[in-house]
Amino acid sequence: MSSLSLPPGPKTKFAAGVFLELRRDPLGFLLRAARQYGDVCHLQLGPRHNYLVNNPEDIKNILVAPQGMARSNHPSIKRLLGKGLITSQGEFHRRHRRLVQPAFHKAQIAAWGREMSAEGERTSSRWKDGGVIEVGEEMSRATLAVIVKTMVSTDIEDSTGRRLGEAWSTVIGTSHLHKIPFLDELLLKLPLPRTRRIEKGLRYLNETIYAMIAERRNRGLEKPDLLSILLRVRDAEGDAAGLADEEIRDEILTMFTAGHETISSALTWTWHLLSLHPEVEAALHAEVDGVLEGGRAPGVDDLPRLPYTRMVLAESMRIYPPVWIIARRNVEDYQLGEHLVPAGSFLYLSQYVVHHDARYYPDPDRFDPTRWTPEGIASRPKYSYFPFGGGGRQCIGEGYAWTEGVLLLALLAQRWRLEPVPGQRIDIDPVITLRPKHGLRMTTHARHGAN
Ligand code: HEM
What is the domain-level CATH number for residue 257? 1.10.630.10
pLDDT in tens, 341-380: 999 999 999 999 999 999 999 999 999 999 999 999 999 9
**Which pairs with CB-CB distance under 8 Å and at least 24 residues apart come from 113-119?**
113/299, 113/300, 113/403, 113/404, 113/407, 114/299, 115/146, 115/149, 115/150, 116/146, 116/403, 116/404, 116/407, 116/408, 117/297, 117/298, 117/299, 117/407, 117/411, 118/297, 119/145, 119/146, 119/149, 119/408
Cα(134)–Cα(138) distance, rounded to whole angstroms?
Answer: 6
Residue ranges making up the domain that contains 242 = 16-446
Tell me which of 253, 346, 395 to substitute to probe ligand 1's pocket, judged by most ligand atoms within 8 Å of the beta carbon: 395
Which ligand 1 atom sits closest to the C-alpha of 251? 35
Distance 230 CA to ligand 1 centre (A): 18
Distance 158 CA to ligand 1 centre (A): 27
pLDDT in tens, 369-428: 999 999 999 999 999 999 999 999 999 999 999 999 999 999 999 999 999 999 999 999
Domain presence at residue 417 = yes
Q: What is the largest CA-CA distance in the chain?
A: 69
The binding-site residues of ligand 1, defined as CB within 6 angstroms of any ligand atom, are 71, 85-86, 97, 254-255, 258-259, 262-263, 266, 322-323, 326, 387-389, 393, 395-397, 400-401
The mean predicted confidence, pLDDT, of the chain is 90
Q: Which residue has the higher pLDDT, 408 or 433?
A: 408
**Cβ contact 81:253 at 8 Å:** yes
Nearest CA to ligand 1 atom 40: 393
pLDDT in tens, 305-335: 999 999 999 999 999 999 999 999 999 999 9
Nearest CA among 21, 10, 347 for reference residue 179: 21
Distance 309 CA to ligand 1 centre (A): 21
Looking at residue 362, its pLDDT comes to 97
Which ligand 1 atom sits closest to the C-alpha of 327? 16
Place 13 in a pLDDT band, splitting at 50, 70 and 90.
low
3-state secondary structure string across 279-334: HHHHHHHHHHHHHCHHHCCCCHHHHHHCHHHHHHHHHHHHHCCCCCCEEEEECCCE
Looking at residue 439, its pLDDT comes to 95
Distance 390 CA to ligand 1 centre (A): 10
Domain presence at residue 201 = yes
Number of domains in the chain: 1
Domain presence at residue 20 = yes
C-alpha distance from residue 303 to each of 32, 296, 307 (Å): 38, 14, 7
Distance 414 CA to ligand 1 centre (A): 28
DSSP state of 372: G
Please state the pTM of the whole predicted model: 0.94
Domain presence at residue 4 = no
Domain presence at residue 2 = no
Which ligand 1 atom sits closest to the C-alpha of 389? 10
Domain presence at residue 289 = yes
Distance 81 CA to ligand 1 centre (A): 14
Domain presence at residue 291 = yes
pLDDT in tens, 45-93: 778 899 999 999 999 999 998 777 888 777 778 878 999 999 999 999 9
Domain presence at residue 231 = yes
